[in-house]
Amino acid sequence: MAPSTIAALLVGAAVSSACTIPTEPLGNNITYPFRAQVQNASRPEVHNKYMNLFEAGGGDRHLFIGPVGVPTYDLTLVAGVINHVPNGVRAVIGGEYSEIDHTTKMFMTGRDDPRAIFQPTYACNPVTDGLQIELRFVTWQGQPEGGHICVRSSFDGSHEFRYSPPGNRLIDVNRECIKVTLVVMPTTDLPPPGTSTTLSTSTTSARPTSTSSSTATSTSTPTGLPTPAPFTDLTDLGFRFVGCAPEERWTDDGAFRTLPDATESSDDMTNQRCVAFCAERGFRYAGTEWRRECWCGDEVAPTRRPATTLESLARCDDGYLCTGDPAQNCGGDAWLSLYERCEEGEACENEVFT
């Protein structure tokens, strides 16, 4: 039998984990925005769908798999608790206890109900074998450890999120609560039109009025390069362009995000806006990405530093035009247009690419 056939049989017979799981444990905070994906490959009606927020009374948000609810791209994890900062809510468990299957609703609120606590954990996707970060359910605060999150069919073809306690074997045969794995999907895709209501706009007020001009671009387009210029000349603002830096790397040379310390996302993103956002917060580096994101940090790991070849600019000159100014590039798909604050008393000059 050919080795490949044997391998194929093994994959069918056992849980394969050829993907390499990083050894360092993950903390219980995830500061980059993510979507929560639901996985249970034996249940196609829920597999690979996403957690939506659905506005309920009193500012609460209920949690559904579509078609009900608003796709939500900017969840974060704070001390093991799923948060949606723009709406000031976090995931809790409580209410709507069901006698039949002993499950209890999980939803989001700003009130102090006992939280649902998760631990981010690296794992191999059981189907694709890709590395992923799963949110392993730890406990319903104040209750015994264990149990799991499940989704149960609800109105209009949706499924709602529920908690099933440790050791629970009860099943509601009319609407089984399907056990699911929650997976962190870092937001690297643009929300479809009309669903941007959940994106953070809380930092909009930080936008200095002086950053709306894009004249710096047109006056400084390096000759011989395609337009728009692969980068924006911000030396007037005290920032130099350093290059196109890799982002979102599953490596242990630094944070998953190259510039993890502050971020904003906007329909009006420009490189000027981003450096102003980071400068205002005292950060040395600012980077734009995926047309609409701005990331800040004080360090760039040596392995994440951009190259200085002309070719290295391609990943940030690839059609990811800034949402706030189509004459500028704002990074790429998991690549940052990286700018660095110039030191006082030093000439402020962009990197030279050859």
Q: How far apart, in Å, are the Cα atoms of 50 and each of 34, 103, 151, 177, 248?
A: 11, 20, 11, 16, 21
Point out which residues bind ligand NAG (CB under 6 A): 27-29, 40, 42-43, 78-79, 178-179, 181
Q: CB of 43: closest distance to ligand NAG in angstroms?
A: 5
Beta carbon nearer to ligand NAG, 169 or 223: 169
Is 66 strand, coil or helix?
coil
Q: Count of CB atoms within 10 A of residue 172's CB?
A: 15
- Rounded CA-CA distance 180/48 in Å is 10
Q: CB of 334: closest distance to ligand NAG in angstroms?
A: 24
Beta carbon nearer to ligand NAG, 78 or 131: 78
Beta carbon nearer to ligand NAG, 40 or 109: 40
Beta carbon nearer to ligand NAG, 56 or 85: 85
- Rounded CA-CA distance 134/72 in Å is 17
Q: What angle do CA 332, 277, 270 make, to 5 degrees?
A: 40
Beta carbon nearer to ligand NAG, 79 or 100: 79
Beta carbon nearer to ligand NAG, 27 or 95: 27
Q: CB of 27: closest distance to ligand NAG in angstroms?
A: 4
Q: Among residues 302, 288, 287, which one has the least CA distance to residue 340?
A: 287
Q: CB of 167: closest distance to ligand NAG in angstroms?
A: 14
Beta carbon nearer to ligand NAG, 102 or 315: 102
- Rounded CA-CA distance 298/322 in Å is 23
Distance linking the first and last C-alpha atoms of the chain: 53
- Rounded CA-CA distance 246/296 in Å is 14
Q: CB of 286: closest distance to ligand NAG in angstroms?
A: 23
Residue with tokens 């995926």: 290
Q: Among residues 256, 324, 252, which one has the least CA distance to residue 288?
A: 324
**How many residues appear in the chain?**
354
Q: CB of 244: closest distance to ligand NAG in angstroms?
A: 30
